[in-house]
Chain A
Amino acid sequence: MLRFILKRAGLAILVAFTVSLISFSLLFLSGDPAAAIAGEHASDQDIEAIRRIYGFDRPMLLQYWEWLSSALMGDFGESYYFKLPVAGLIAERLSITMTLGVCGISFALLTAVPLGVAAAIRPNSLLDRFALFLSVAGQAMPSFWFGLILIVVFSIQLGWLPPSGTATPLHFVMPTIVLGYYAMPAIMRLTRAGMLEVLSSDYIRTARAKGAPEGLVMFKHALRNAIIPVVSLAAVQMGFMLGGSIVVESIFALHGAGYLAWESISRNDLPTVQALILVFSMFYIVFTFLADVLNAWLDPRMRAG
């Protein structure tokens, strides 16, 4: 198990390194950064001066090295727009996004897994149909529309929940539901499919032949095997929620990291965009790594790989 963890950690670091290279080169893939900073009406001399000030005229490898080593120290440079250190900017926004992401994925898992298990125990039952309806609706409904409906009902008509902002935990209720409901259908369907497959397997029959009660058969023998693909999916969904919650953040005016990414892209604020891409990628890598470790714990056959 320890060997497996070390191996996976090593791989994760390699991937992280590759991602850092890509996110650094983005700066140059989107055209001449000096020209971008100087603006539309700058003269050639101005652009040349900016290039020298920002150091864009030096060898790429040297620039990468400087960027990476300071990034490792937590210094991502200064935002072109805010004229503030990028690191502080991101840290402040990330706490909102993290809160939302953790709440969202928890909400998705806590509704999707029990519903998926229940649907698999009685396929084609009323409950199964209801779960299918919920997941189709969740998949078909755009987040922005669902978010607005919630605001209309719970904030404007009923007045139960605040429509926007981040002041209290109550402010996170609707964003959590919208974000979680977006991830729920896939998790639910995968849990159901996994359980159905596992329940028809020989070792489930063995467990019943031993005299195991149904609860034990379902949760000890079946769910542990059925949940494995769900863990991997949840890790990806979690990564997505951190980087891709822009829509939800905009609707509920939660100024999180997703919103910052969107702002920075539209302002051509390259150091911020670079740093955000790196941070989001690191989260993806960390979650995937954690999912791999969790899966190896669940299924001993994976520990060899």
Chain B
Amino acid sequence: MTDTPILSVRNLTIDIPVGGGTLHAVRGIDFDLNRGETLCIVGESGSGKSLTSLALMGLLGKKISRRADRMEFDGIDLMKTSQRGMRKLRGLRMSMIFQEPMTSLNPAYTIGDQLAEALLLHKKVSREQARARAVELLEKVGITAAKSRLSQYPHQLSGGLRQRVMIAMALMCEPELIIADEPTTALDVTIQAQILRLLVDLQKELGMAMILITHDLGVVARVADKVAVMYAGELVETGPAADVFGAPAHPYTRGLLRCIPVPGKTERGAELGTIPGIVPSLVGEVSGCPFRTRCDHAVDACRQPIPLREQQAGRHSFRCVHPDGRAASPQEVPA
């Protein structure tokens, strides 16, 4: 593992023009990802997780604008890369798996055609070689009778199988980075664990870096090397998974963790944790901590821009006015 990160993002900002002004969907995201590492981006719906991943792939819509001080993939400045250049990276060196396996495959073409296309677009191979590679990968993602699947159409497969096909498709060119945007959300609970295990095993086996976008903290705890917690378009806390889970510094992260029942610890019948309030509107000027309206520890200083604080130098950082989040944890606040 080299020291230079495969992906390095500084101050990524995404704006969406809407009827009444500009929606500041993502504001000043920073993160680094090393080869072979897994970064989990956590946050609720609308926090900007998916937009962040689409921005990395260069797949934002025409009207959505992105800015960044730095967005580099293996030393390539993605902000300066042309559409043509991005096309040559996508599918070859960085791949993406989407949330909706039911609608992410083209209904008009066979599985075989769509898998082979991923390879034929980037490499000079024959159709037969591409199909052989497709069979190999279908087997790798645990699909039985792989060869006969090539001539099937997406509507003939279940959701779980389709997501396996999507994974196989993303791996056709052995990318160095794979972005999985809530890959298990649309699947049955019993299938979710299988698909996730498959993804993690393949990632380890092929030595890929992975960004896993999810709102399932249980998943994060099992697979993440690094965690980035997003709230309303901002990165509120980031660091090694063990540190963020072991010593959450931001009130929002602590709130999220309280929402998960822990077998053996949470008493039967006890009320599950919730975070009261709603996410603020991001249309127009957004300043200060976006979480302050829902936070128990909000003070006047929360209205000002909050700098990123380092809990541990270069590792665990968070964006909160309280210098040590834990000092103000709910147990110690007088009732």
In the complex, which of the residues B87, B91, B92, B108 has the most CB atoms of chain A within 10 Å of its own CB atom?
A: B108
**A210 to B169, Cβ gap below 8 A?**
yes
Interface string of A209-237 (1 = CB under 8 A from B): 11111000000010011000000000000
Which A residues, 126 to 176, have Cβ-Cβ distances below 8 Å to chain B?
none
**Across the two chains, which residue of chain A brings its CB closest to B179?**
A209
For the complex with contacts A208-B59, A300-B155, 18 further pairs of A-B residues with Cβ separation under 8 Å are A203-B103, A203-B104, A206-B104, A206-B106, A206-B169, A209-B57, A209-B91, A210-B91, A210-B118, A210-B169, A211-B90, A211-B122, A212-B87, A212-B117, A300-B107, A300-B108, A301-B107, A301-B155
Q: Determine whether B95 belongs to the interface, using a CB cutoff of 8 Å to chain A.
A: yes
**Across the two chains, which residue of chain B brings its CB closest to A223?**
B108
In the complex, how many angstroms separate the beta carbon of B314 from the nearest chain A beta carbon?
Answer: 32
- CA–CA, A206 and B108, complex, Å: 14
Chain B residues positioned under 8 Å from A224 (CB to CB): 108
Chain B residues positioned under 8 Å from A301 (CB to CB): 107, 153, 155
**A210 to B108, Cβ gap below 8 A?**
no
**A299 to B90, Cβ gap below 8 A?**
no
**A299 to B103, Cβ gap below 8 A?**
no
Taking a contact as CB atoms closer than 8 A, the residue among B96, B106, B153 that contacts A209 in the complex is B96
Name A's B-contacting residues (CB within 8 A): 201-203, 205-213, 221, 224-225, 298-301
Chain B residues positioned under 8 Å from A209 (CB to CB): 57, 59, 90-91, 95-96, 98
CB<8 Å pairs between A and B, sample of 7: A202-B100, A203-B103, A209-B91, A209-B95, A210-B169, A211-B89, A300-B107
In the complex, how many angstroms separate the beta carbon of B121 from the nearest chain A beta carbon?
Answer: 5
Chain A residues positioned under 8 Å from B100 (CB to CB): 202
Chain B residues positioned under 8 Å from A221 (CB to CB): 106
- CA–CA, A24 and B105, complex, Å: 50
Taking a contact as CB atoms closer than 8 A, the residue among A205, A212, A298, A300 that contacts B98 in the complex is A205
Known: A211-B121, A224-B108, A300-B108. A202 touches B103 (CB 8 A): yes
Taking a contact as CB atoms closer than 8 A, the residue among A203, A207, A208, A210 that contacts B107 in the complex is A203
Chain B residues positioned under 8 Å from A205 (CB to CB): 59, 98, 104
Chain A residues positioned under 8 Å from B98 (CB to CB): 202, 205-206, 209
Chain A residues positioned under 8 Å from B90 (CB to CB): 208-211
Name B's A-contacting residues (CB within 8 A): 57, 59, 87-92, 95-96, 98, 100, 103-108, 117-118, 121-122, 153, 155, 166, 169
User: Which 6 A-B pairs have CB atoms at the shortest separation, nearest pair first?
Assistant: A211-B91, A210-B91, A211-B90, A202-B103, A203-B106, A300-B153
**Across the two chains, which residue of chain B brings its CB closest to A222?**
B106
- CA–CA, A89 and B107, complex, Å: 47
- CA–CA, A203 and B166, complex, Å: 11
Known: A205-B59, A211-B121. A299 touches B91 (CB 8 A): no
Chain A residues positioned under 8 Å from B57 (CB to CB): 209
**B108 to A202, Cβ gap below 8 A?**
no
In the complex, how many angstroms separate the beta carbon of B333 from the nearest chain A beta carbon?
Answer: 45
- CA–CA, A212 and B100, complex, Å: 20
Chain A residues positioned under 8 Å from B107 (CB to CB): 203, 225, 299-301
- CA–CA, A202 and B118, complex, Å: 16
- CA–CA, A205 and B100, complex, Å: 11
